[in-house]
Structure 1
Amino acid sequence: MPLNRDQCYQAMLTHDPRFDGHFFVAVRSTRIYCRPICRSKRPALENCEFYRLAAAAEVAGYRPCLRCRPELAPGQSPADSADRLASAAIKQIEAGGLQEQRVSDLASKLGVSERHLRRVLVENVGVTPIQLAQTHKLLLAKQLLTDTTLPIIDVALASGFASLRRFNALFRERYAFSPKTLREKNAKVKHLPSSLPSCICRLFYRTPFDWSSLLTFFSRRIFAGIEQLEGETYRRTVAIGSHQGWISVENDPVHSALRAEVSISLLPVLMQVLARLRRLFDLEATPKQITMHLGSLANGNPGLRVPGAFDGFEMAIRAILGQQVSVEAATTFAGRLTRHFGRSIETPFPGLTHLAPTASAIAAASEDELTRIGVTKSRARTILAIARAVANGLITLDVAVSIDQALAKLKELPGIGDWTVQYFAMRAFGWPDAFPHSDLGILKALKTKNPRHALAASENWRPWRAYAAMHLWQSLEKNL
């Protein structure tokens, strides 16, 4: 669906923050593209072009504005896209999906041909997969060059470039100056300090943003050894491929951003780490739009987010352990599972001692090993089934082109029913319309014992039912 020029222009004139990240404004006379909130001189409508993605503006020959910095714009929610394949492909590419695999591999993962994937992206956002990946890498590099003191060769590595020479050449080709020149232009920028060997990035969100509710939710479901909450700071260990390390995240409400500190050991997978953090903290949500749709249900806390997942398999284990038991019991089982199957890791933080158990580690276990840590036999069989399916490549838990098909495939595994897949869709797939209508808390909040009544009531909240579920759960806490 093409952008409405008049609506985009009006949003730009009023600097409406609701549209930040939803489109970019390119100015023909300057060959610069901006966020709609940019405070630079307003161009005439006939001098503007509007693009859904920064990549489309760059492919058309425009350079990013050094004032409003398009690389810092919040991302787009899956609900914003009319095409699920295009949305899934964009998210995969933004998460480094083309760093170590070809376009044909990504297309295969998404269940389509390379030619079809290319056609869908061009039709929907005006760029090819390679062009999208190049822009995403360049914009991440631009952010690191401006906001950190990382050596330029490390910036190239962290941005997904295999060689410094290729990084310099593409940067100069797109932006008409070198990485070194940009670093010199921003020599007076005050960088975020750290006493640890790390890289600090800011991840921006749309306001309002309820950080405290997110931390409260996570605090009750902490994987001991893997995660840690200290005051208003969230920390966890990370393993992606052969790289392992830690992250530490805190809120910066003055700048409407999260301050994410990432250990230097994770620089080669920084793009993946940042994408996972955006998903974990639901940074791409459009809270004002959601609140307007949900009405009185959401008015009391318009900044409430749906807590996501850092890793799909880890989230699947959480969901299974949480079946028909209290949150406290599920957390206890998770800690035992971590100590038994998770590898140990050294970090600067005493509470972070283990990496999350991998699918292959659990897949190699026996049913008896799981029951010895307190898991029931039926739940042990379910955990083993999903671990072996993931380890053997039969299912993927980080992307879904068709939500219905992905959830149906999960339900084919023993012990996985509708509650589990809906909860998983909320948190791992980040699907905003997921709704676990049989959840006891939701039934209690709606004052019904019939899941069908809850499902019928939820129709009014589409396509934001996951947020409705969060508000219903929170209403129980307020009424205690």
Structure 2
Amino acid sequence: MLTTDQCYQAVAGRDRRFDGMFFTAVSSTGIFCRPSCPARTPLRKNVDFYQTAAAAAEAGFRACKRCRPDASPNSPEWDIRADVTGRAMRLIQDGLVDRSGISGLASALGYSPRQLGRVLQSELGVGPLAIARTERVRTARTLVESTRLSMSEIAFAAGFSSIRQFNDTFRAVYSSSPRDLRSGAGEPHGGESIVVRLAYRPPLDHAHLFRYLGVRAIEGVEDVSEDRYSRSLRLAHGPAVLTLTPGSGDFIECHLRLADTRDLGSAVARARRILDLDADPGAVRATLTDAGLSELSDTCPGIRSPGTGDPVELAIRTVLGQQISVAAAQTHLNRLVTAFGQDLPEDLRVGSVDRVFPTAAAIAEIPDEHWSLPGRRIDTLRTLSTQLAEGSIDLGPGCDRTEVDERLLAVPGIGPWSLGYIRMRALGDPDVLLGSDLGVKKAMSELHSSVTDKTDWAQRLDRCRPWRSYVTHLLWAHHSRPEPQTPTAQRIRSGESNDDDNDTAHRGHGAIYDHRLDAGTNPAHLGW
């Protein structure tokens, strides 16, 4: 947590980089704001700082109508932290409290409700119910402003247990009724989609991000262009389809088609994870600069570490893609979805997205003759999918990352590379360095030969904690870049060899690739 002096300095400078990392509560007005609020800077003696919007609201402050602190990006701290507080925050944002209550949240974390309440109260100054209530009212506001649903439908879709609770919470947080916000926002959006603006901390390299996702798109499940990403989701109450496009300002526009509006909060949380919208690029760049990697960082400002809309899908495709080409892996995935994916209802389909990736249980039952893969690979897929279906391997937002490591490595055929890739993309861990990856190794070798300071790479990379996932993506981007873009890039690329056939093919595609080498696998140069 920042010191109070640092927080006030950010407020005085209206620094958008800190939006969502803390909230400013002003005692003289009774409101709380994001640090970048354009209103006059309050006197220091009238200001308190809270780590969450829930804590500010619980202390009796109302959300500022001018800067909309409820629309801030989430704190990147919840991605970094693997402790019970971080896990609880990720689960609450995913809607677990609305589905299973505080007891369900506590059970998922291995705590009693009372123990969990004490932990969060000590860490954040507020309990899990208040945090969940803040997420509910934010979901409700989105539905009020973006749909024609009645207020009673919105209340129950957002997770409130009664209309009275819905109205009281709305007035406490926004100092106005739900109907006032609807009338103040003008005519609600029509059509089939719910439209949500997703804030992020700039810069954001949209082009690189969409290219990365486009290379890995599965037919029927994903549809990607240079400025649009659509995919299906399997949510708690039914399927959904989201479409993400760059919006005006520091926002991604998210169009959602939901089978059940109760899944809105969970769908938004997944959309944010897919594009890594809670990242702090300023902190990443500062850390890499201190580690002596400023040139690498500057080659791709605003790079993200993209997540996934379906952790099961990510785990299966990681194993399925071992030791085969990108084209062959895509063929297997497309066949899998065509044969065993779930058809989407007509009213949810967008573009070519018409199916949902099969469940782990369905994949575990697929006969051997379908796969056209080596027997050991089939065994790995079946073991992994069975354990995912049974819940003995949990890749959800509240999972224990250390336990996941142990259980995945116990599956024959899963080595350090696959574990790291799953941890980085499915679990959203920002500190994964795929050091055994061939593309990463070649990029490091090229960079090492171009610099005068020969500081050991291990020392540099260790100083990049807790942002080494971004280093991995920067090294991939450096290695896959088809042509030098700047004088700096020209100097860096001078050590590259073109004698690897697979390397040449990758550059010819002009896309972004990962290159894996797991323990126990052949040292082939492979893209996935």
Same fold flag (TM > 0.5): yes
SS at match of 1:447: helix
Displacement of 1:300 in angstroms is 1.4
SS at match of 1:260: strand
Match in the other structure for 1:256: 250
Post-superposition CA distance 1:372-419 (Å, at most 9, x none): 332322121111111111211212111356433321221111211110
Structure 2 gaps of 5+ residues are: 289-293, 447-455, 483-506, 508-528
SS at match of 1:397: coil
Which has the larger Rg?
2
Tell me if structure 2 keeps the 8 A contact 1:79–1:432. Answer: no
Distance of 2:142 and 2:287 partners within structure 1: 34
Further displaced range: 128-137 or 77-86: 77-86
**How does 1:120-139 map onto structure 2 within 5 Å?**
120-139=119-138
Tell me if structure 2 keeps the 8 A contact 1:85–1:401. Answer: no
Post-superposition CA distance 1:44-96 (Å, at most 9, x none): 01101100100000000001001100111011124676672111101110110
Match in the other structure for 1:365: 366
Change beyond 3 A, Cα 1:145–1:40: farther
Change beyond 3 A, Cα 1:129–1:34: same
Distance of 2:44 and 2:105 partners within structure 1: 38
Match in the other structure for 1:383: 381
Residue of structure 2 aligned with 1:425, choices 423, 426, 439: 423
SS at match of 1:99: helix
SS at match of 1:102: helix
Displacement of 1:317 in angstroms is 0.8
Q: Does 2:41 match 1:42?
A: yes
Distance of 1:336 and 1:107 partners within structure 2: 39
Residue of structure 1 aligned with 2:393, choices 375, 392, 395: 395
Tell me if structure 2 keeps the 8 A contact 1:160–1:271. Answer: no
Post-superposition CA distance 1:318-371 (Å, at most 9, x none): 2111222233322221111111221122344351221111011112333x14xx
Distance of 1:336 and 1:64 partners within structure 2: 49
Q: TM-score, normalised by structure 2?
A: 0.84
Displacement of 1:282 in angstroms is 0.1
SS at match of 2:255: strand
- Given residue 277 of structure 2, which amino acid in structure 1 is its aligned partner? L
**How does 1:312-461 map onto structure 2 within 5 Å?**
312-345=311-344, 346=346, 347-366=348-367, 368-369=368-369, 372-399=370-397, 402-447=400-445, 458-461=461-464
Displacement of 1:197 in angstroms is 0.9
Match in the other structure for 1:23: 22
Tell me if structure 1 keeps the 8 A contact 2:214–2:225. Answer: no
Displacement of 1:150 in angstroms is 4.3
- Given residue 408 of structure 1, which amino acid in structure 2 is its aligned partner? E
- Given residue 366 of structure 2, which amino acid in structure 1 is its aligned partner? A
- Given residue 470 of structure 1, which amino acid in structure 2 is its aligned partner? H
Post-superposition CA distance 1:245-294 (Å, at most 9, x none): 32211111x32111111114242201100000110100000011101212
Match in the other structure for 1:217: 212
Distance of 1:4 and 1:454 partners within structure 2: 32
**How does 1:69-148 map onto structure 2 within 5 Å?**
69-78=68-77, 84-146=83-145, 148=147
- Given residue 354 of structure 2, which amino acid in structure 1 is its aligned partner? T
Change beyond 3 A, Cα 1:354–1:221: same
**How does 1:272-283 map onto structure 2 within 5 Å?**
272-283=266-277
SS at match of 2:371: coil
Distance of 1:175 and 1:20 partners within structure 2: 18
SS at match of 1:101: helix
Further displaced range: 373-382 or 125-134: 373-382
Distance of 2:37 and 2:324 partners within structure 1: 49
Distance of 2:128 and 2:385 partners within structure 1: 31
Displacement of 1:308 in angstroms is 0.5
Change beyond 3 A, Cα 1:440–1:454: farther
- Given residue 87 of structure 1, which amino acid in structure 2 is its aligned partner? G
Further displaced range: 52-61 or 352-361: 352-361
The CA RMSD over aligned residues, in Å, is: 2.2
Further displaced range: 158-167 or 236-245: 158-167
- Given residue 273 of structure 2, which amino acid in structure 1 is its aligned partner? R
Match in the other structure for 2:526: none
Displacement of 1:27 in angstroms is 0.7
SS at match of 2:256: strand
SS at match of 1:291: helix
Further displaced range: 229-238 or 385-394: 229-238
Further displaced range: 381-390 or 20-29: 381-390
Match in the other structure for 1:305: 304
Structure 1 gaps of 5+ residues are: none
Change beyond 3 A, Cα 1:472–1:76: same
Change beyond 3 A, Cα 1:358–1:78: farther
Displacement of 1:174 in angstroms is 4.3
Change beyond 3 A, Cα 1:81–1:322: closer
- Given residue 473 of structure 1, which amino acid in structure 2 is its aligned partner? W
Match in the other structure for 1:240: 235
Match in the other structure for 2:502: none
Match in the other structure for 1:265: 259
Tell me if structure 2 keeps the 8 A contact 1:71–1:143. Answer: no
**How does 1:187-226 map onto structure 2 within 5 Å?**
187=186, 196-226=191-221
SS at match of 2:343: coil
Displacement of 1:145 in angstroms is 2.8
Distance of 1:116 and 1:441 partners within structure 2: 45
Distance of 1:238 and 1:463 partners within structure 2: 29
Change beyond 3 A, Cα 1:334–1:162: farther
Tell me if structure 2 keeps the 8 A contact 1:158–1:267. Answer: yes
Change beyond 3 A, Cα 1:237–1:206: same
Post-superposition CA distance 1:76-122 (Å, at most 9, x none): 12467667211110111011010111322222222333333212211
Match in the other structure for 2:453: none
Distance of 2:399 and 2:45 partners within structure 1: 37
Q: TM-score, normalised by structure 1?
A: 0.92
